[in-house]
Amino acid sequence: MRLSRRFRFEPTESLLRTKRPSGLITPSGLLKLVGHAAMGVAMGLAFALILMLADPSGIATIVAHGGNQGIAVFAGTLALTFGIGATLTGVVFIIMEDNE
């Protein structure tokens, strides 16, 4: 008896996977990402405000030496950092949601 006859493999419908589009490309996926980015920016701005008001380690005095531009750069850096982090976290959440 030949080996190919004994171990013949026939793919069935249950084994074939259909390719679904990623949830990131859909309009609802992009809207979710924008929501995550907005939440991250808001959290970054709130964190910058708390740091400026609480003044741990003299951060406010260091930023104040830069004037209005220093405050804008400080707040913008924190907002951008938090926004990017929240957006990447949103990407992971959406991809994991698609896998379920």
Of 23, 20, 19, the closest CA to residue 90 belongs to: 23
pLDDT in tens, 22-49: 677 888 889 999 999 999 999 999 999 9
Assess whether pLDDT exceeds 80 at residue 21: no
Phi, psi dihedral angles at 99 (to 5 degrees): -75, -20
pLDDT in tens, 56-75: 888 888 888 988 899 999 99
Phi, psi dihedral angles at 66 (to 5 degrees): -85, -5
Q: How far apart are the first and last CA of the chain?
A: 43
pLDDT of 59 reads 87
DSSP of the chain: --HHHHT-----TTT--PPPPPTTTSHHHHHHHHHHHHHHHHHHHHHHHHHHHH-GGGHHHHHHTTHHHHHHHHHHHHHHHHHHHHHHHHHHHHHHHHH-
